[in-house]
Amino acid sequence: MDFSPIVPALPSLWEGMLLTLKLLAFSVIGGVALGTVLALARLSSNKVLSLLAGFYVNYFRSIPLLLVITWFYFVVPFIIGWITGTNQPIGAFTSCLVAFMMFEAAYYCEIVRAGIQAISRGQVNAAYALGMTYGQTMRLIILPQAFRKMTPLLLQQSIILFQDTSLVYAVGLMDFLNSARSQGDITGNLHEFLLFAGLIYFIISFGASTLVKRLQKRLTV
Amino acid sequence: MLNVQDITLRYGAKTIVEALSFHLAEGEIGCLLGASGCGKTTVLRAIAGFEPVAHGRIVLAGVTVAESVASVPPEARQIGMVFQDYALFPHLSIAGNIGFGLSRMPRAERDARVAELLVLVGLDGQGGRYPHELSGGQQQRVALARALAPRPRLLLLDEPFSNLDVELRERLAQDVRAILKAAGTTAVLVTHDQHEAFAVADMVGVMAGGQIRQWASPYQLYHEPADRFVADFIGEGVFLPGRVTGSQCVEIELGQICRIVPIHCCPDCEVDVLIRPDDIQHDDASPIQARVVAKAFRGAEFLYTLELASGNRVLSLVPSHHNHAIGEMIGIQAEIDHVIAFAR
């Protein structure tokens, strides 16, 4: 075992990590936003809306992420081209981002839905009785409380997403794991590089997970 | 001000409330009193707009807010509501809670209104605290202030005291009445506790089986119940058999009592006379003797169950220093200002 080639490869590994983190951040933001909309739709008294959202969530929760990534890699450029009428290539990063957002939204939706349902019906009635509309009630009363309750769960799901971002290797995106692999191939120390990547994933995921647990304790007190 | 006309409320096929009506004048406090399941909360929720009206209508300040065909949504009714569990917003401060319904007001005006309400409910200077830092009674006051802040046309209170200690309940009931009267608010209270109803309301409706059996002042409910059900439900008391002897008098074994509340009954017919515990006074000099068969200590007084010569029983409230043993004979006297009798 020779770990010394890792040192000169650190800058390109860092590049990969940046891509991973960028992908993660955008996916979480987009996924939570879309997930919240889906959750509101699922809880809506409008049957059609609720059924459509339910179908979306169940569909994406029933297929492998890897399938979604590869599928979007081929389909998203086509759809965007069809919408904009141009034929510009949009790149693997964007199609991966869209795939993650849409896939994770299904999971975030269920967390947000549970969070909203955990807020007592009385809060909604109290807001209505004070003259608030549905939108104001959701924005000012229900969602702030719901998000506070579900922050730990959203973070846990995001830690899983952090690990799942490595699936972008399937479409050749140079994320952290893929950089480690390619650097390993170049220097011929693949095992060492993969061990190193594993260690980094472990440190970040485990560290974040520990922090979330502490946060959870603080929020429940 | 509030006119509930002939409303019928249903959950699916089940009729909860049928053909119920009552009326409240501006500034009046009304109360729906009844055991759980009698439909009182459903009526309140219908007035608030959380339940649809199957038949009849609800008119608030001259505007029909609910009918079977159309209804004004809750947020547009200008109704304040105090909930059983208060439903304070835990993520907002006390001031934030109270000011929540005032979002359309300019900031300075809103702050002034919040401060004014904090004073009104006796929580002056506590606006920066959060709901979980307050006691139950304080949370109750915040809920009241929050509901009053937008100056609602009508305030609804759903079992507002049921989460409080008995001791606090009585004091707060009086406070709430004082606050509502000071603000001149028309209000409807729902409760299963008649003491609460009497302490807060001007007019009380006794409900059973989805209907109001009697809508009257507390005094009238107690002394002039409309039927046997109300007589039984409100206060304590027994029925003694009697005979109508004249146009205004009735003869019972405790003597002849006049000023009878008119009943549709010919002279000489048999009736049941409602005797309240406060109608029977302990008097050692009285020739009428009764045997103590049970007693309950209530602090200031004893509630004695007394057996008359005929074997009929009456209740009597006696100052508690008159401590008689069970089995003892004591002198009693009927001190009845007016009686209510029900035809057999």
User: pLDDT per residue over B81-106, tens digit each?
Assistant: 998 888 999 999 999 999 998 888 89
Strands B79-82 and B154-158: parallel
Per DSSP, the three-state class of B60 is strand
Which of A179, A193, A211, A171 lies closest to A76, judged by CA? A171
CB contact under 8 A, A125 and B90: no
Q: What is the pLDDT of residue A15?
A: 92
Residue B157 neighbours by CB under 8 Å, 6+ apart: B81, B82, B176, B187, B188, B189, B190
What global pTM score does this model have?
0.77
Which tokens hold the place of B169?
């309940």
> b/e string for B163-182 if b means 16 or more Cβ within 10 A?
ebeeebbbebbebbbebbee
Distance CA B211, CA B218 (A): 18
Please tell me which of the candidates A123, A131, A133 has its beta carbon nearest to residue B87: A123
Q: Domain residue spans in chain A?
A: 4-220
Q: Give the gyration radius of chain A's Cα atoms.
A: 21
Please tell me which of the candidates A123, A125, A131 has its beta carbon nearest to residue B101: A131
Inter-residue contact B52 to A107 (CB < 8 Å)? no
Q: Which amino acid does the sequence have at B63? A: V
Which chain B residue is nearest to residue A143, measuring alpha carbons?
B91
Element (H, E) at B20: strand B14-24
Which tokens hold the place of A126?
């109290």
Interface mutation vs chain B, best among A45, A120, A121, A128, most B CBs within 10 Å = A128
Q: What is the pLDDT of residue A220?
A: 67
Strands B329-334 and B313-319: unpaired
Enumerate the residues of chain A whose CB falls inside 8 A of the CB of residue B91.
144-145, 148
CA angle B179, B183, B186 (to 5 degrees): 95
Inter-residue contact B238 to B278 (CB < 8 Å)? no
Q: Tell me the pLDDT tens digit for each residue of B297-341.
A: 988 899 999 999 888 999 999 998 888 999 999 999 888 777 788
- Residue ranges of alpha helices (H) inside chain B are 40-48, 94-99, 107-120, 136-148, 166-183, 194-200, 218-223, 228-233
Which of B320, B240, B339, B228 lies closest to B288, judged by CA? B240
The DSSP symbol for B9 reads E
DSSP string, A6-41: HHHHHHHHHHHHHHHHHHHHHHHHHHHHHHHHHHHH
Domains of chain B: 1-78+186-234 (3.40.50.300), 236-343 (2.40.50.140)
CA B308 to chain A, closest CA, distance in angstroms equals 53
Residues 149-188 of B with CB under 8 A from A: 150, 156
C-alpha distances in angstroms, B264 versus B251, B261, B269, B340?
16, 10, 10, 12
Residue B249, Cα to own-chain centre: how many angstroms?
31
CB contact under 8 A, A131 and B83: no
Which of 1.10.3720.10, 3.40.50.2000, 3.10.50.40, 1.10.3210.50 would CATH assign to domain A4-220? 1.10.3720.10
Q: What is the pLDDT of residue B224?
A: 87
Which tokens hold the place of B182?
């000071």
Q: What is the pLDDT of residue A112?
A: 94
Per DSSP, the three-state class of A62 is coil
CB contact under 8 A, A122 and B87: yes
Element (H, E) at B208: strand B203-208
Q: What is the separation, in whole angstroms, between the first and last Cα of chain B?
A: 39
Spatial strand order of the sheet with B2-11 comes to: B14-24, B2-11, B55-60, B63-67
Which of B10, B6, B38 lies closest to B22, judged by CA? B6
CB contact under 8 A, A123 and B89: yes
Enumerate the residues of chain A whose CB falls inside 8 A of the CB of residue B74.
125, 128-129
CB contact under 8 A, B85 and A131: no
Distance CA A7, CA A18 (A): 17
Residue B22 neighbours by CB under 8 Å, 6+ apart: B4, B30, B203, B205, B212, B215
Q: What is the pLDDT of residue B262?
A: 62
Enumerate the residues of chain A whose CB falls inside 8 A of the CB of residue B83.
122, 125-126
Question: Phi and psi dihedrals of B86, rounded to 5?
Answer: 70, -40
CA A105 to chain B, closest CA, distance in angstroms equals 26
- Residue ranges of alpha helices (H) inside chain A are 6-42, 47-61, 65-84, 91-118, 121-129, 134-136, 143-164, 176-187, 190-220
Distance CA A197, CA A204 (A): 11
Torsion-angle region of residue B252: left (phi > 0), alpha (psi -120 to 50) or beta? beta
Please tell me which of the candidates A133, A136, A145 has its beta carbon nearest to residue B90: A145
Distance CA A50, CA A65 (A): 24
The residue with tokens 């770990």 is A3
- Low-confidence spans in chain A with pLDDT less than 70: 87-89, 220-221
Q: What is the pLDDT of residue A53?
A: 95
Inter-residue contact B32 to B211 (CB < 8 Å)? no
CA A219 to chain B, closest CA, distance in angstroms equals 12
- Low-confidence spans in chain B with pLDDT less than 70: 247, 260-266
Distance CA B317, CA B300 (A): 10
Instruction: Give the CB-side neighbour count of residue B166, counting CA atoms within 13 A.
Output: 2
Instruction: Give yes or no for B132 touching A (CB within 8 A).
Output: no
Which tokens hold the place of A206?
């485990």
Q: Which amino acid does the sequence have at A24? A: L
Which of B210, B173, B237 lies closest to B34, judged by CA? B210
CB contact under 8 A, A131 and B49: no
Spatial strand order of the sheet with B187-191 comes to: B79-82, B154-158, B187-191, B29-33, B203-208, B211-216
Which chain A residue is nearest to residue B100, measuring alpha carbons?
A130
CB contact under 8 A, B87 and A120: yes
Per DSSP, the three-state class of A212 is helix
Q: What is the separation, in whole angstroms, between the first and last Cα of chain A?
A: 48
Interface A-B: count of C-beta contacts within 8 A: 59
Which chain B residue is nearest to residue A145, measuring alpha carbons?
B91
Which tokens hold the place of B33?
């009193």
Instruction: Give yes or no for A37 touching B (CB within 8 A).
Output: no
CA B114 to chain A, closest CA, distance in angstroms equals 14
C-alpha distances in angstroms, B251 versus B222, B277, B295, B334?
21, 19, 27, 12
CB contact under 8 A, B87 and A136: no
Per DSSP, the three-state class of B165 is coil
Distance CA B146, CA B140 (A): 10
